Amino acid sequence: MRVGAHVSVAGGVDNAIDNQRDVGGNCGQIFTHSPQVWQNPNVGDGEAAAFREGTAAHLDGPWVIHSSYLVNLCTPKADLRANSVDSMQREVDAAAKLGIDYVNVHLGAHTGAGTAAGLDNAVSALDELDVPEGVTVLIETDAGSGTKLGGEFEHLATVLEESSHDLGVCLDTAHVFAAGYDLSTRAGVDETVAEFDDVVGLDNLHCLHLNDSKHGCGTNKDEHAHIGEGLIGVEGMRRIVTHPDLWDCPFVLETPTENGKSFAWNIDRVRELRG
């Protein structure tokens, strides 16, 4: 089973290897820099080599780079769009340097431009990228609050169909649940997976962010909970990690550190639910 967590790169991106092993993960996700600012990943050649070598020696992979929280592909604002495209280009270039397969990004918010215009903006922004060979941009599902797009599978399907790039999808279980897809029961998971396959296609699903939710289905509230201890719960989580169509997907946790539980506890929990 490929399961891991979003780990720190403090002190050098190559430190993510030991950080991942410390929590019992064999794949995972990183930020290349603080996600709250516009910043160059600035990965040195030595760090990159150590990261590639450490991954090959100790982990199964894959790794995912999560883009900056400031990126907004759907925006109608020219300056924000330019910064978003520039930031994404730096991330896909860093991924190529590090030997990382995926760069994950939210579509962002249309901020009043409307759904159709927002999706068009996202497609055209993505199409400005020069994506290196071996790197795939993943569009992450969203909880769907306000004018944010990506909360409906149809949004993802539109971007994948219209972009000139061969994009993929990262499905976040907490986001999908908050957006109104019920994952709290075996039947609900089966229905959601079937709908995803019908609308987007399971062949486009490259990664799952495995998170329970502190808020109910359809609330559009994005707050993650420990695996099996949120409102998705044990039944839903067990079905997600044992569903035959999701069996081979890498699961990356973004669960909280609270109540004496952190990534290691959650990774053990996932393996326990897998059986």
Q: For residue 8, which amino acid is it? A: S
Model-level pTM? 0.97
Q: What is the CATH number of domain 3-274?
A: 3.20.20.150
Spell out the residues 6+ positions from residue 117 whose beta carbon is closer than 8 angstroms to its own.
76, 110
Spell out the residues 6+ positions from residue 156 whose beta carbon is closer than 8 angstroms to its own.
139, 141, 150, 169, 199, 200
**Cα–Cα dist 274/114, whole Å:** 41
The whole-number pLDDT of residue 223 equals 98
What average pLDDT values come out for the chain (275 residues) when binned by 10 residues?
98 97 98 95 96 98 98 98 98 98 98 98 98 98 97 98 98 98 98 98 98 98 98 98 98 97 98 97
**Which DSSP symbol is given to 204?**
G
H or E element, residue 154 = helix 153-162
- Name the residue among 196, 201, 270 with its Cα closest to residue 236: 270
The whole-number pLDDT of residue 88 equals 98
The whole-number pLDDT of residue 75 equals 98
**Which DSSP symbol is given to 202?**
G
The whole-number pLDDT of residue 148 equals 98
The whole-number pLDDT of residue 259 equals 93
Neighbouring-strand partners of residue 213: 224
Q: Please report, for residues 98, 105, 168, 232, the alpha-carbon distance to residue 131 in angstroms, rounded to integers and kept in the order given.
A: 14, 14, 13, 35
Q: Which two tokens stand for residue 51?
A: 């990261």
- Name the residue among 124, 16, 85, 29 with its Cα closest to residue 93: 85
Domain ranges of the chain: 3-274
Q: Which two tokens stand for residue 191?
A: 């229905």
Spell out the residues 6+ positions from residue 179 whose beta carbon is closer than 8 angstroms to its own.
141, 142, 143, 144, 151, 152, 218, 220
Q: Please report, for residues 87, 146, 203, 204, the alpha-carbon distance to residue 80 in angstroms, rounded to integers and kept in the order given.
A: 10, 18, 32, 28
The whole-number pLDDT of residue 147 equals 98
The whole-number pLDDT of residue 8 equals 97
**DSSP letters spanning 93-117:** HHHHHHT--EEEEE-EE-TTS-HHH
The whole-number pLDDT of residue 69 equals 96
- Name the residue among 77, 73, 91 with its Cα closest to residue 159: 73
**Cα–Cα dist 71/73, whole Å:** 6
